[in-house]
């Protein structure tokens, strides 16, 4: 399992509250906490280090290249967290191919000799600002947007171009349709049709997430994907030459260099999909949050090595994840009883169930990361988000007491 240690980086201070401080990044990993607590910081650091490991395996650059001229900080700057580093910052990443450590303003990179099972990943960071790509016309022409948003926009445009027919959405009983001729996106109901630009903020946030996840999980999936293939020696040599040109060009910034290298990586065959999603619940009704989470889990479950990383403020996401875990437990007890499986399917889609061993939930408070406890494999109700729901009930009781005093 990939591990990540992070201390004194932005809002993260003490880091993971264990002896070694390493966060085990499970198949499905959630981070919960208040605004500015550091959820996204962890997700962005993990995204960056996963990408660096992939780039090292691919041969985009050497460890020595990355360790010089503050290039590591510039890689973090791609996610707008380069200035989060201080003299006290400590980051350590143990991946399947490389160990990456940043401490005392020094970067060291070593091969992980204990593991040789590296799977070439497609890494997608889905930013919270994603509704921007569907709420304005030609977002690609707008300057000074966050760089991850441009990357996400590229994947969104590619996903739309690859779906020529209408697609059923898991929420709202709607279909999505993209017209290449006029480059317009439509939502189609039973008796109406509107442009996505005119839709609610919930759909503007959800549709890009849904399409990109669906498209990328499809091209990764070995059973569905016929377009991606292993490159031959000649093709690899050409790619290496293009990489050398990018690295030797002093007229381009590190941010642009990274984008160009990532575009080249599309020629390699991916083995798994790392889907890092900020706030999947964004602007959505609770029942819609359930469908979104189940859809993300379905995509994750298409390949064993896939990962789903989520940051969330929503207690519903935790509760619905509990349903997916309990669904897995129940499914294993049913023993192919078709009637019981049909009943289970109505509650939790079988493709969205997840083993309790494959999930981890961490909550962040005051710069400290703690793992959420579990009960019989299920996430505990005693978490940061549910506590606030309980506090609102306590406050209501206090109001009733004051009301009684008025009589």
Assigned domain for 291 exists: yes
Mean pLDDT for 150-178 is: 92
Which pair of structure tokens corresponds to residue 359?
Answer: 């999930």
Helix axes 147-161, 254-265, angle to 10 degrees: 30
Which pair of structure tokens corresponds to residue 167?
Answer: 């697609």
What's CA 30's distance to the chain center, in Å? 10
Assigned domain for 365 exists: yes
Assigned domain for 299 exists: yes
Assigned domain for 240 exists: no
Domain ranges, residue 283 = 2-128+269-398
CB 93 within 8 A of CB 2: yes
| pLDDT, tens digit, 9 for 90 and up, residues 220-244 | 865 554 444 444 445 556 666 776 7
Assigned domain for 137 exists: no
Residue tagged 């208040």 (tokens): 34
Distance CA 148, CA 78 (A): 7
Which pair of structure tokens corresponds to residue 54?
Answer: 């992939």
Helix axes 254-265, 39-58, angle to 10 degrees: 60
Assigned domain for 404 exists: no
CB 221 within 8 A of CB 215: no
Is residue 272 classed as helix, strand or coil in its secondary structure?
strand
Q: What is the pLDDT of residue 18?
A: 94
Assigned domain for 236 exists: no
Distance CA 187, CA 31 (A): 32
Q: Count CB atoms within 10 A of the CB of residue 242.
A: 15
Distance CA 206, CA 199 (A): 11
Is residue 23 classed as helix, strand or coil in its secondary structure?
strand
Is the predicted pLDDT of residue 290 greater than 80, yes or no? yes
Distance CA 215, CA 55 (A): 22
Q: Looking at residue 40, which CATH number applies to its domain?
A: 3.40.50.300
Assigned domain for 143 exists: no
pTM for the whole thing? 0.86
Mean pLDDT for 37-44 is: 96
- The proportion of the chain whose per-residue pLDDT surpasses 90, expressed as a percent, equals 59
Domain total in the chain: 1
Q: Looking at per-residue confidence, does 264 or 334 come out higher?
A: 334
Alpha helices in 19-146 (DSSP H): 39-58, 63-67, 71-77, 132-135
CB 300 within 8 A of CB 28: yes
Spatial CA neighbour of 20 closest among 41, 1, 3: 3
Q: Count CB atoms within 10 A of the CB of residue 34.
A: 16
Q: What is the pLDDT of residue 188?
A: 95
| pLDDT, tens digit, 9 for 90 and up, residues 372-385 | 887 767 776 665 56
What's CA 304's distance to the chain center, in Å? 16
């Amino acid at each position: 399992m990939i591990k990540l240690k992070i201390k004194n980086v932005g809002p993260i201070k003490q880091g993971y509250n264990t002896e070694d401080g390493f966060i085990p990044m499970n198949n499905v990993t959630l981070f919960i906490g208040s605004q500015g607590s550091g959820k996204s910081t962890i997700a962005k650091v993990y995204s960056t280090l996963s990408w660096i490991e992939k780039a090292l395996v691919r041969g985009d650059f050497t460890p020595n290249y990355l360790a010089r001229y503050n290039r590591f900080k510039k890689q973090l700057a791609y996610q707008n967290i380069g200035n989060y580093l201080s003299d006290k910052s400590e980051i350590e990443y143990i991946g399947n191919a490389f160990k990456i450590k940043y401490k005392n303003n020094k970067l060291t990179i070593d091969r992980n000799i204990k593991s040789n099972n590296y799977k070439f990943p497609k890494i997608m960071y889905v930013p919270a600002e994603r509704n921007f790509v569907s709420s304005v016309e030609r977002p690609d022409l707008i300057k000074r947007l966050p760089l991850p948003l441009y990357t996400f926009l590229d994947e969104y445009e590619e996903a739309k171009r690859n779906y020529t027919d209408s697609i059923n959405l898991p929420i709202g009983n709607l279909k999505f349709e993209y017209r290449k001729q006029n480059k317009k996106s439509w939502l189609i109901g039973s008796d109406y049709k509107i442009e996505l630009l005119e839709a609610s903020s919930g759909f503007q946030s959800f549709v890009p997430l849904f399409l990109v996840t669906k498209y990328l999980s499809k091209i990764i999936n070995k059973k569905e994907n016929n377009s991606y293939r292993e490159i031959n020696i000649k093709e690899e040599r050409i790619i290496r030459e293009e990489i050398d040109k990018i690295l030797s060009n002093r007229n381009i910034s590190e941010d642009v260099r990274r984008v160009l290298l990532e575009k080249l990586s599309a020629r390699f065959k991916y083995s798994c999909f790392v889907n890092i999603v900020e706030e999947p619940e964004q602007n959505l009704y609770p029942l819609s949050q359930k469908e979104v989470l189940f859809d993300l889990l379905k995509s994750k479950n298409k390949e064993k090595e896939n990962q789903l990383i989520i940051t969330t403020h929503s207690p519903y996401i935790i509760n619905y994840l509990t349903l997916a875990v309990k669904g897995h437990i129940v499914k294993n007890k049913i023993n192919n009883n078709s009637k019981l499986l049909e009943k289970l399917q109505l509650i939790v889609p079988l493709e969205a169930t997840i083993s309790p061993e494959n999930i981890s939930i961490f909550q962040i408070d005051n710069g400290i990361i703690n793992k959420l406890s579990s009960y019989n494999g299920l996430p505990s109700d005693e978490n940061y988000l549910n506590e606030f729901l309980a506090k609102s009930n306590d406050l209501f009781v206090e109001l009733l007491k004051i009301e009684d005093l008025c009589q």
